Structure formats: C-alpha cells, structure tokens
Chain A
Amino acid sequence: DIQMTQSPSTLSASVGDRVTITCRATESISRWLAWYQHKPGKAPKVLIYQTSTLESGVPSRFSGSGSGTEFTLTISSLQPDDVATYYCQQYNKFSLTFGGGTRVDIK
C-alpha cells in the first residue's frame, strides 16, 4: 500500500497567519490527492481534489499544490472556523490511503 505521511501532526497559529501542511507519499501518485477538513462530531468535508482543484463552496484561502510524492495544503489567512484536523488522501490506486492528520488550532 502507498503510505501517506503528513507533517506537522499538530500546529498552532494566530488568526491571519499563513499555514502550510505537507503530505508525502511513498511512491508517485501523480496528482491524485485530496484534502479533507474534519471537525469533531461532524462529517469530514472535502476541500481540494486532484491536488489543486477547490471543491465548490470552499473558501479561496485554501489552496493545494504538488505532484508525484510531495504535496501541500495552504491556508493563506487562518480563521477561527478553520480549527479542525486536516487529512490528505491518495486515490492513485488501491488500497486508498489517508495521511495521519494534522490538527490545527488557534494560538
């Protein structure tokens, strides 16, 4: 299986800060990567798919980049509503796999 490694596992930043989360794959997944936001007790929500395509309705402060084995999710200006855990997911091939998650909170 392709392993997905996210870093950092937790981060604390101030409102308005630029935040970057990294996701690395153990082999190339081309651009078949999605990012999700998960708040406790809620359904996970897709933010970005195919590395950089913003899901409808997702604020433009979220962006994604990368290819091959290294990918990033950037929040350009952190907002209180962004407090959540973020996961990457590869869908290049079975078995579909997720990163371990990055918990983001406000300093």
Chain B
Amino acid sequence: EVQLLESGGDLVQPGGSLRLSCAASGFTFGEYSMAWIRQAPGKGLQWVSCIFGSGFDPHYSDSVKGRFTISRDNSKNTLYLEMNALSVEDTAVYYCAKGPYNSCVNYYDFWGQGTLVTVSS
C-alpha cells in the first residue's frame, strides 16, 4: 500500500525558513517523480515543485522559484522541500504527491494528508 507521510510544518515568522519532509513507502521510490502541492486557507490547490526519480532537473512554480528547493534521498525514501524567505502568502497545507511514472508533467496518483505551514509574526 502506497503511503506518503509529510512532516515539518510549523509556525514561522516572515523571512524565516523551514524544511518539510515526506516519508514514502509501498513503492519503489526512486522510479517515480514526486511533487509538492499546496492549499492556502480557503483556496484551491497550487502546484509548487516537482523532481524526477533521479533527483535531477527539478521544476518550480514562479511563486517559489529561487526561494524553495526540492530534493530527495532515494536511500531513505524521503522527499524534501527547503523553504526560505517565507512570506504570509506561503501559508498553506503542503501535500506531497507521487506521479504515476517518472515524469514531472503529470497528474498525481497518490497524495499525503498534508502538513500545515503558517507564516505569521
């Protein structure tokens, strides 16, 4: 059974940093692309970033490019999102999601339950 478990969400001040993790199980982690998708309070879903199974060639939305870094450790079956220069607009539930194959231009066939990031002073 595929499981994705996010962690690391917290309350952080504007300008601060945070690292999210997503522990994956139930599939061969390194063979699939992975992504982060967020949902701000009362808003819809917003794609944030994606990374190929190899860990190369990450992609980012314009709203986070230069501030967020996606990475993965295939030996630990874990996906990460390093978030810097956080602003109140980054407040959201962050979901980890798995692609159905090793491509970043994808839909997502499994999602975690999310971790809440709150940016506030």
A residues touching B (Cβ–Cβ < 8 Å)? 1, 32, 34, 36, 38, 41-46, 49, 55, 87, 89, 91-101
Contact = CB atoms under 8 A, between A and B. Distances in A.
Interface residues of B, number: 23
7 contacts: A36-B45, A43-B110, A46-B107, A91-B105, A91-B106, A96-B106, A100-B44
**Main SS of chain B's interface residues?**
loop
Contact of A34 (B46, B61, B107, B112): B107
A49 B101 CA distance: 13
B45 A89 contact: yes
Contacts of B107: 34, 46, 49, 89, 91
Contact of A96 (B4, B105, B112): B105
B96 to A, nearest CB: 9
Contacts of B47: 89, 95-98
B95 interface: yes
B53 interface: no
Interface of B: 4, 44-47, 50, 59, 61-62, 95, 97, 100, 104-114
B105 A41 contact: no
Given A41-B113, A42-B113, A43-B113, A101 B44 contact: yes
A46 B108 contact: yes
Contacts of A98: 44-47
B111 A45 contact: yes
B120 to A, nearest CB: 22
Contacts of B110: 43
